[in-house]
Structure 1
Amino acid sequence: MLDFSFKAIAITNEIDLNKIALQCGIPKKFTWEEPLILRGNILQSILGKDVDNSKSVLLFSFGSVVFINHSNDEEIKVLLKYLQSFEPEMDLKNIGRYSDDYSLHISETETLELTDEYVVVPEYEPFYPELISTVLAKSVALEKTEEQLGVIHDRLETMIDRLEKGKLRIGNKELARTTAKILRHDYNTLAYIMILDKPDITWASSNASEFYDKMIDFFELNDRHKILKSKTEILYNIIDGFSTISHSIRGLFVEWIVVILILIEIVITISQIAGWIP
């Protein structure tokens, strides 16, 4: 039985693949749809030692990294340190917060077997490592986004508590910051992680397409994406409510100012007519 091990980590919100490819001497322009694969001589030059040909690292533009057959934690640390030179905002202290380990086994079996920890296939196909890596990369990136959504929910809950206590004034900057966080979450989920997009190989091979669809279903990526979209819509509705209240309060304040100015003008006019003031 042949084994492949995978370790997926969400390290940041975005990785500039073209910058890394240029540094590695890879003459190719990468798009969002494809990962940058480091292997062979390139991987050896980064690690500073000989590397088994079975090892590789896949970098995804939406901030995830997948290590294939890297059982040595020291090698992973060296590679992450190398990536930090391109993405300084990476927090290496909490790097394993959004991660997942998985395995691919090739065995004499009649059907494909999917579990939480591994997948068993009857024979090896070249597309298996990349498709598994893609699903894992999207899963951990989605996990990171799900937690960020929880932080936004907590922030809105604080604002709702203030409303319940009668503190109706909400600053424009506060509303703008919260709205920006929701928009960023929406962008990271739909436009950048590209949950609904399929790798190019799946359009060329029906076997690859079938395998990818099974992996996506097993990891519930589409369902998780729908839940996130639904929660995001709720957040937008809450923000709209806050904005309506805030604008109403400001409009009422302006109306009272106008009324007070009119009253002052009337009092001054009457006083002048009555001779109370020159």
Structure 2
Amino acid sequence: MMEEQAKREVVKTPPLKKLRKSFSIFSCYLGEKIDLKKLQENLKKYPYITRDPPIVLKLALGQYAVLTKFGVVTFWNVPKRLREEFIQEISQFVEEFDKNYPYFDTLKVFIGKETEDVKFGKVYLTKIDKEKVQVISFVISQSVALERFEKEIEQRVSELERLIGILRLGKIKKLREKDLLREIGDILAVRQRTISHLSLFDKPETTWERAELERLYNKLFYEFELGDRFDILNEKIRFLADHNKLLLDFISTQRGHFLEMIIIILILIELLIFLGETFLKW
């Protein structure tokens, strides 16, 4: 009797494979930052799954958008047309908005696995909930935002190396002080902007609530190589800081030499005037 009941229970329970669902994730960079407070105050069209950052909105049945403070929005199963419409709707809340930024990433999430894992751009979950949506979206958003800063810092490092190369070859005439100061200003601005945003790349508070969320975050963090990328970025920031100081010292020295030349010229002029007056007296 018990064996027959057990068989009936097994038949009633569908296998995990049939229960498995999947999500296609698309994450893209829109601008410096998203004002989540103003967005929530003004955007009433969509229901909010959670209002704590990163905020999750339901765009349609089974389709979601997750927004972070640092300018990245992550879409879950959202078709391109709806993505474009939503991006246009929130553009007014994005600082330095540009829909054509070339920074984006994709991910596949599968639900209904016996164990949870992350590998080769795919996330396998036993089940899905809003906290896991937040964690997954947060990490891929970190990766996308980090790519923006990586590219920007790399450009400035290349520019700085070009300036140093000119100085090393002694081609000082090619560097006008005004141009040099502008380049240094641009480099410092990028460095400061990057540093100010790095504080936003901390572990999300959600991971402190459940051990499984922290494990998921750590696996995603490793998958996107965020630790190594952070270290490399910080190293380049230190490089910019050190060499900016050298360039500023060079400008200061050049100004010192210029002032010395002016003083010498003034002394010579005064000497000539003195000699001229003395000659006239004779």
Superposition TM-score, scaled by structure 1 size? 0.82
**Could you say which residue in structure 2 is the equivalent of 1:242?**
247
Q: CA deviation at 1:241?
A: 1.5
**Whole-angstrom CA distance in 2 between matches of 1:180 and 1:79:** 35
Q: Deviations over 1:175-231 (max 9, x none)?
A: 443344334433443432536511111122222122212211221112111101101
Structure 1 stretches of 4+ moved >6 Å = none
The correspondence of residues 213-224 of structure 1 with structure 2, limited to 5 A, is 213-224=218-229
Q: CA deviation at 1:114?
A: 1.5
Counterpart amino acid of residue 7 in structure 1: F
The change in CA–CA distance for 1:183 and 1:19 in structure 2 (over 3 A counts) is: farther
Q: CA deviation at 1:234?
A: 0.9
**Could you say which residue in structure 2 is the equivalent of 1:75?**
82
Match of 2:258 among 230, 233, 253: 253
**Whole-angstrom CA distance in 2 between matches of 1:35 and 1:113:** 22
**Whole-angstrom CA distance in 2 between matches of 1:20 and 1:277:** 84
Compare CA radii of gyration and give the structure with the larger one: 2
Q: CA RMSD in A?
A: 2.8
- Equivalenced residue count is 259
**Could you say which residue in structure 2 is the equivalent of 1:60?**
68
CA contact (8 A) 1:141 1:193 kept: no
The correspondence of residues 4-23 of structure 1 with structure 2, limited to 5 A, is 4-23=23-42
**Whole-angstrom CA distance in 2 between matches of 1:263 and 1:206:** 79
**Whole-angstrom CA distance in 2 between matches of 1:272 and 1:120:** 94
CA contact (8 A) 1:62 1:193 kept: no
Q: CA deviation at 1:124?
A: 3.5
Q: CA deviation at 1:157?
A: 3.4
1:226 aligns with 2:268: no
Secondary structure at the aligned position of 2:57 is classed as: strand
User: What percent identity do the matched residue pairs reach?
Assistant: 27
CA contact (8 A) 2:26 2:107 kept: yes
Secondary structure at the aligned position of 1:91 is classed as: coil
**Could you say which residue in structure 2 is the equivalent of 1:47?**
none
Match of 1:107 among 112, 117, 125: 112
Unaligned runs of 5+ in 2: 1-19
Q: Deviations over 1:62-105 (max 9, x none)?
A: 110100121x211111112212244484333x34x211111221
Match of 2:144 among 117, 140, 147: 140
Counterpart amino acid of residue 89 in structure 2: Y
Counterpart amino acid of residue 262 in structure 2: I
Structure number with higher helix proportion: 2
Q: CA deviation at 1:135?
A: 0.3
The change in CA–CA distance for 1:277 and 1:238 in structure 2 (over 3 A counts) is: farther
Q: Deviations over 1:15-42 (max 9, x none)?
A: 222222111249x9x99x8223222xxx
The change in CA–CA distance for 1:57 and 1:130 in structure 2 (over 3 A counts) is: same
1:266 aligns with 2:274: no
